[in-house]
Amino acid sequence: MRVTTQMVNEAAREAGLPVNRVSLLNYVRGNGGGNDLVSVLTQKRGSESAGRTNERKLEEAAGRLAGAAEAFAEEGEDSLFEKSIASGDRQELNAKVEEFLDSCSRALKILQTMDDGLNAFYGQNLESLLTDSREALADIGITRSGDGSLELDREKLAAAETEKIRQALNGKGFAGRMAYLAGRIQDNAQAGARSLSTQYGADGSSYAPSFHKYDLWG
């Protein structure tokens, strides 16, 4: 079947692409003034590639965050805190605190670039969780910088008693909620990276629903 310019224009209308009065050859060659099929599809592929990269980075950061939070939530004589108290060695505990800060900051930075869908929803809940525990975290040297990332005062952390660190990081279920939230972020990022190419319209907008009005904790 011979493909005509009229057929291409009709397909473009159905896909939501702008229709120019240019020939089929111009569409193929990319001479449609930036609105041709080649340009639009190239831009879309670039957007999807960047999106997948962000999702992979978010998946990694959230996975590390979940691991650190789960360690803080453990109980019993083999838990991170109990071993630190028994041995008097804070090296492993302090390293886990730094891992928590680094992965949480990375996840926050990526989530701040995602303004719709589940990632925005999870980002809001992560911000809320950190805000609710702001004073307890500050007491052991964990604060927020101007760009929203987490900063650590190592001297203040070193001076804090292990029990105080336990109360800050696991007080009122902080660690358990953080581990749960980080796990959800990781799962969603993994799924997003796999399916991103099918979730965008021709204009690059996401089909994902918005959850801005809801809270993960009910």
CB 65, CB 100: distance < 8 Å: yes
Domain of residue 160 covers 55-193
106 and 183 in a common domain: yes
160 and 61 in a common domain: yes
79 and 29 in a common domain: no
Give the tens place of pLDDT for each residue, 164-202: 999 999 877 999 999 999 999 999 999 888 876 555 444
- Residue type at position 4: T
150 and 84 in a common domain: yes
CB 29, CB 68: distance < 8 Å: no
Give the tens place of pLDDT for each residue, 94-153: 999 999 999 999 999 999 888 768 889 999 999 999 999 999 999 999 999 888 889 999
Do the domain assignments include residue 48?
no
User: How far does CA 93 lie from the centroid of its chain?
Assistant: 25
Q: What is the pTM of this model?
A: 0.68
33 and 124 in a common domain: no
C-alpha span between 68 and 199 (Å, rounded) = 32
